[in-house]
Amino acid sequence: MRKINGFLFIPYILWMILFIVVPVILLIYFSMIDIHGDFSLENYKQMMTTKYFLMLWDSVLYAVLITLTTLLISYPAAYFIRTSKHQNVWLLILIIPTWINLLLKTYAFIGLFSHDGIINRILYSLHLPRTELLFTGPAFIIVASYIYIPFMILPIFNNMKDIPNNLLQASSDLGASRLATFKKVIMPLTKRGVLTGVQVTFIPALSLFMITRLIAGNKVINIGTAIEEQFLVIQNYGMGSTIALFLILFMAFVLIITNNKSTNGKG
């Protein structure tokens, strides 16, 4: 039986080697090759300059804003679904938008935010001045937050669903208000779900490039757009690989921190 289980594990090992280990090794190799094809550590020297540190800072800042916006919307929504009698209906409404292609959803927001879009038409009909919503930082945060809301709500909701009802009833019987129960019982017990939601939101938000280009234009330059530019525009694969390696290391750092906090909270 153990031999059979061992054979069943082989496809997973092969998948990990082919699509994770090998690409990382290639990134390390190309990061040591300059734009002329010679072996060099020049890419790492450039990565240590102020320009890239500021770009990393901007990426982290926007990722934090997207994560906080998503969390502020998702936590009350998850609590509402948890207390609703129609949980399956609300979950279906939540999941359906994830079936729509990301590019289509992005173009839909372009139709909303553009100069002749729906929002500006409404403002014009109300005799209010038009606003430039597209190609701005706030528009980028709104669109990215909308896309990641389902991925934040689901782990929080699953964590809330696991809270026994007798704990909430005991809190009420002991004289605690609904607000006190929420703060003292529900919030501590959903910490793990929040950290999971932060992981699946913050980490991808660091490397966004398609949404960044279409919604923010050149107003937001982050690590994702820098990697895209190095590979597709400048075709400096060495520098693109170096930036990607730093991004992977930073993502691993975030995963370690959030996992440690989740483990401590569980204990």
Cβ neighbours for 114, distance < 8 A, ≥ 6 positions apart: 120, 133, 134
User: Residue 165 in contact with residue 186, Cβ under 8 Å?
Assistant: no
Task: Tell me if residue 208 falls in helix, strand or coil.
Answer: coil
Alpha helices (H) along 129-236: 137-161, 165-173, 178-181, 187-189, 191-206, 210-211, 223-228
Q: Which tokens in the block code for residue 223?
A: 């690590």
pLDDT in tens, 181-239: 888 888 889 999 999 999 999 999 988 888 898 999 878 888 989 998 999 888 899 99
Burial of 66 (0-12, 13-18, 19+ CB in 10 A): buried
User: Residue 220 in contact with residue 63, Cβ under 8 Å?
Assistant: no
Q: What is the pTM of this model?
A: 0.89
Tokens 């998948």 -> residue: 15
Backbone dihedral angles phi then psi of residue 148, each to the nearest 5 degrees: -95, -5
Amino acid at 82: R
Q: Identify which of 24, 22, 31, 28 has the alpha carbon closest to the alpha carbon of residue 230.
A: 31
Q: Which residues pair with 33 in a beta bridge?
A: 39
Please, what are the averages of pLDDT over each run of 10 residues along the chain (267 residues)? 72 91 94 89 92 91 96 94 90 89 91 89 88 90 94 94 86 82 88 92 90 87 89 91 93 84 59
Whole-number pLDDT of residue 181: 86
